[in-house]
């Protein structure tokens, strides 16, 4: 046997067999201590806790674009799902469905939120604005107009979310700087890479809103 093998086998005074035996004894002690603890059955919720079955339906009252809706929804349903599949507001797009792309951005009390990460029951009776709510009948709103005039899209799939991010920014900052525009749009991805035109549209939209 080489000296290296001997060193490896007797590192720090333990042989490999001795080390394994040591670990086995330790695990046995831990296991015995756990087994010695009495098992009183699963932990149950208190009677006062409201625990809903997985597929139970609850009434949810939503205020969307100034209109009131009362829907039956499962507590686990996202706002995105309810908007698209229950109410039929399909302007809000399903992208990544995990809060990474921003295609589903809506405004909750004037603040941009990812609808895919927001439960419908969370936003009961709060002000929800989708891209459809920015229009006046068939007339585009200022942000939508600026996007069209600046060619701020290519495939267009991310555009509703981009529009809502800019709308949310302009409701907070009347005349945003270039850095504020980039920051306000940073949560929304454009896979076509139309960012420069999106930023230009945001700048023009700020002026249109003031006119």
All domains of the chain, ordered by start, with CATH?
58-210 (3.10.20.30)
Report the SS3 class of residue 159: helix
What are the DSSP E strand ranges found in the chain? 58-64, 67-73, 105-108, 111-114, 127-129
- pLDDT attached to residue 211: 85
Those residues whose C-beta lies under 8 Å from the C-beta of residue 106, and which sit 6 or more positions away, are 79, 83, 92, 112, 113, 115, 128, 129, 130, 164
Helix boundaries (H) for 36-137: 79-81
- pLDDT of 158 higher than 80: yes
The stretch 21-33 carries a mean pLDDT of 46
Q: Which two tokens stand for residue 54?
A: 């997985």
pLDDT in tens, 69-87: 999 999 999 999 999 999 9
Residue 138, phi then psi, degrees to nearest 5: -100, 5
Give Cα 146 distance to the centre of its chain: 27
- pLDDT of 36 higher than 50: no
Burial of 99 (0-12, 13-18, 19+ CB in 10 A): middle
Q: Which two tokens stand for residue 171?
A: 């409701």
pLDDT in tens, 169-199: 999 999 999 999 999 999 999 999 999 999 9
Q: Are 155 and 69 in contact (CB under 8 A)?
A: no
């Amino acid at each position: 046997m080489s000296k290296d093998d001997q060193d490896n086998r007797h590192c720090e005074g333990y042989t490999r067999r001795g080390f394994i035996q040591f670990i086995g004894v330790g695990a046995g002690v831990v296991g015995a201590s756990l087994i010695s603890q009495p098992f009183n059955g699963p932990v149950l919720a208190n009677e006062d806790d409201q625990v809903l079955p997985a597929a139970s339906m609850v009434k949810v009252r939503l205020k969307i674009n100034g209109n009131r809706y009362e829907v039956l929804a499962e507590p686990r349903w996202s706002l995105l799902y309810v908007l698209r599949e229950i109410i039929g507001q399909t302007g809000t797009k399903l992208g990544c469905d995990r809060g990474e792309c921003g295609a589903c951005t809506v405004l909750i009390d004037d603040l941009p939120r990812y609808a895919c990460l927001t439960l419908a029951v969370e936003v009961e009776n709060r002000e929800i604005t989708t891209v459809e709510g920015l229009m006046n009948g068939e007339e585009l709103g200022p942000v939508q107009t600026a996007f069209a005039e600046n060619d701020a899209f290519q495939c267009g799939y991310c555009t509703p979310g981009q529009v809502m991010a800019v709308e949310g920014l302009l409701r907070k900052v009347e005349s945003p700087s270039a850095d504020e525009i980039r920051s306000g749009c940073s949560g929304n991805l454009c896979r076509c890479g139309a960012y420069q035109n999106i930023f230009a549209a945001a700048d023009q939209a700020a002026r249109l809103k003031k006119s």
